[in-house]
């Protein structure tokens, strides 16, 4: 699993922002040689689970919690999504990247509601 090392790195720190930074730093290293779409999805879900668990214990509004999760997903996308694009498709990627980013964030926004009960059960 490509997400095991980034998840482990994020589990070693206490602050939410540090968890996100540690996860993304290790994900960048793991994605250095390229990334499949499935691996990007795995990284996204793993990061979402970590961030959801971290913000669930904070005394902040539910909509702000969701924003933090989506900001983390956006940061992950910006950091590693380019590694999932073959060189041949790069010119097209430059055009469709903003749209794909928005679609990933929309999917993540919907997935937050589905992951929240799973994260709470696992805790």
Tell me the pLDDT tens digit for each residue of 42-91.
Answer: 999 999 999 988 887 777 777 888 899 999 999 999 999 999 999 899 99
Q: DSSP H helical segments within the chain, as ranges? A: 4-11, 16-30, 37-56, 62-80, 90-122
Domain encompassing residue 28: 4-122
Q: Say which residue, 119 or 74, is predicted with more confidence.
A: 74
Domain tally, the chain: 1
Q: How far apart are CA 53 and CA 83, in angstroms?
A: 27
């Amino acid at each position: 699993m490509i997400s095991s090392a980034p998840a482990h790195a994020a589990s070693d720190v206490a602050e939410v922002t540090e968890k996100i930074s540690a996860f993304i730093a290790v994900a960048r290293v793991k994605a250095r040689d390229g990334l499949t779409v499935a691996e990007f999805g795995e990284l996204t879900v793993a990061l979402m689970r970590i961030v959801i668990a971290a913000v669930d214990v904070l005394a902040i509004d539910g909509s702000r919690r969701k924003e933090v999760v989506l900001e983390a997903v956006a940061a992950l996308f910006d950091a590693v999504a380019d590694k999932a694009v073959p060189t041949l498709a790069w010119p097209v990627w430059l055009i469709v990247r903003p749209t794909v980013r928005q679609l990933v964030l929309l999917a993540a926004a919907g997935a937050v509601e589905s992951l929240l009960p799973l994260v709470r059960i696992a805790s």
